[in-house]
């Protein structure tokens, strides 16, 4: 086995372990009631919510099975998770070359601009509504 493949496997295992550990922490501790979770600096300084505000509470609620509550905390998190899940699935080699065009559309410049506009719109709307 070559060094590059070994490093890839080590990084992949470390990423999975980190995700599992974070999931356990977020499942067992409520960010709303625990002080060791980081607070949003933007909200602390301005009193306005950033696009990520509520993300930690949303993850906790999602891991506890409270999907509606999780969506209320941060709907952009759910849209983003679905988008990145689709991108992950499209990377599987057994899907063949036909998905490469779809993957290109979902990761191209137009998609990036759409995401940027959507995040800015969400940021503004969540503070107006």
Structural domain containing residue 71: 38-128
Q: How confident is the model at residue 109, as a pLDDT?
A: 94
Same domain, 60 and 110: yes
Domain count, the chain: 2
Which has the minimum average pLDDT: 60-64, 92-96, 123-127?
Answer: 92-96
Check whether 1 has a pLDDT greater than 70.
no
- Residue 37 carries which DSSP code? S
- pLDDT, mean of residues 56-79: 96
Q: Based on the domain organization, do 11 and 43 belong to the same domain?
A: no
- The mean per-residue pLDDT over the stretch 13-39 comes to 94
Round to whole Å and give the CA distance between 98 and 116.
Answer: 27
pTM of this prediction exceeds 0.75 = yes
The two three-digit tokens of residue 95, written as one number: 């899907």
pLDDT of the residue at 98: 72
Same domain, 15 and 59: no
**43 lies in the same domain as 23:** no
Q: Can you read off the two tokens belonging to residue 59?
A: 């993850």
């Amino acid at each position: 086995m070559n060094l590059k493949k070994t490093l890839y496997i080590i990084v992949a295992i470390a990423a999975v372990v980190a995700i599992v550990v974070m999931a356990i922490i977020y499942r067992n501790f409520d960010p709303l009631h625990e002080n060791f979770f980081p607070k949003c600096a933007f909200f602390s300084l301005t009193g306005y919510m950033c696009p990520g505000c509520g993300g930690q509470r949303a993850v906790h609620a999602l891991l506890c099975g409270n999907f509606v509550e999780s969506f209320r905390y941060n709907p952009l998190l759910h849209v983003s998770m679905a988008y990145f899940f689709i991108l992950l699935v499209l990377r599987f080699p057994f899907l063949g070359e036909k998905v490469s065009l779809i993957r290109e559309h979902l990761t191209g410049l137009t998609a990036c601009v759409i995401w940027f506009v959507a995040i800015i719109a969400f940021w503004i709307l969540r503070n107006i509504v």
